[in-house]
Structure 1
Amino acid sequence: MADMDNPMTEIEEDTCWGYLASQEVGRLATAKDGKPEIFPINYCVDGQSIVFRTAGGSKLQELAENANVAFEVDGWTVDGGWSILIKGVAEEITNAAELALADKMPLKPWVPTVKRHYVRVTPDQLSGRSFYFGPEPKN
């Protein structure tokens, strides 16, 4: 974790997965017609990827048009925090064996809607940083 002498530090890739696994909610960034969209999603870590459920609406349509996404998760305490960023590709899971496994993940819809589509985000890049909260330096 960062400290007062070094208020921001990089997080090792293996440790990034631990931080990702410690949370359930993140933000998925997509682009439609060159314009960014951000969706809050609940997710699970599955190996070296994340999986989420969605309905057949705008997220799924945007991913079919442009599978390149960013995904971010943050956490904090009174003293500091961390942020993990994935840049990668999102693909709907269609393989029957993978769908059976995804169906066993603890992914329940937040709102009373049917979400039959599972999507896997596989990173091209994974980065993280931790930071210490404190006052702005005088110099």
Structure 2
Amino acid sequence: MTTEDPVVRLSEEECWQRLRGSELGRLVTRVGDVIDIFPINYVVDGTSIVFRTAEGSKLVELTVNDEVLFEVDEHTDADAWSVIVRGSAHVLDTLAEREAADGLGLQPWVPTLKYNYVRISPSSLTGRAFRRTGEPERYGVSEY
């Protein structure tokens, strides 16, 4: 990042690096006019996102409309970043898929039984990194 540009677009590989380094994101679903957002913990598996879920509204919504958004961001006092994955989500339903997902080491953060694995397959991946500094002068007043 330069001093002139506090916002930088991330490459696809930089997006995946950041996703691999995090474990909490937000899943956005849509069914008709209803849009929901859910916090989920996840793992990156190759070039896809895998998470676990229990029976309930999230799983039902994914079966009605598999198009999702998934967002992860992080920040420090000096910088921040955000990655958005657009794609489709599907429940892993074959024995081979579930056994492979079991090997990913994904554990629920909340002590609940989550028997369903879901894979998000991206159709696009975008990200931005931000330098966090003070707000620029808003009114054009400068020192002489």
Q: Is the structural similarity TM-score above 0.5?
A: yes
- Matches of 1:35 and 1:3, distance apart in 2: 41
Asked if the contact 1:75/1:81 (under 8 Å) is kept, the reply is: yes
Name the structure 2 match of 1:113: 112
Q: CA deviation at 1:4?
A: 2.8
In structure 2, runs of 5+ residues without a counterpart are: none
- Matches of 1:114 and 1:76, distance apart in 2: 31
Query: For residues 42-121 of structure 1, what are the structure 2 equivalents within 5 Å?
Result: 42-121=41-120
- Matches of 1:35 and 1:7, distance apart in 2: 35
Name the structure 1 match of 2:34: 35
**Percent identity (aligned):** 46
Question: What SS class does the counterpart of residue 127 from structure 2 fall into?
Answer: strand
Task: Describe the superposition over 1:37-72 as per-residue Cα deviations: whole angstroms up to 9, x where unpaired.
Answer: 000000000011000000111110000001000000
- Matches of 1:5 and 1:133, distance apart in 2: 13
Q: CA deviation at 1:113?
A: 1.4
Runs ≥4 residues deviating over 4 A = none
- Matches of 2:43 and 2:105, distance apart in 1: 7
Indicate the RMSD between aligned Cα atoms, in angstroms.
1.1
Asked if the contact 1:29/1:69 (under 8 Å) is kept, the reply is: yes
What is the aligned residue count?
138
Q: CA deviation at 1:128?
A: 0.5
Task: Work out which of the two has the higher radius of gyration on C-alpha atoms and give 1 or 2.
Answer: 2
Mean alpha-carbon deviation: is it higher for 3-12 or for 121-130? 3-12
Name the structure 2 match of 1:130: 129
Q: CA deviation at 1:112?
A: 2.1
Question: What SS class does the counterpart of residue 106 from structure 1 fall into?
Answer: coil
- Matches of 1:20 and 1:104, distance apart in 2: 19
Asked if the contact 1:3/1:132 (under 8 Å) is kept, the reply is: no
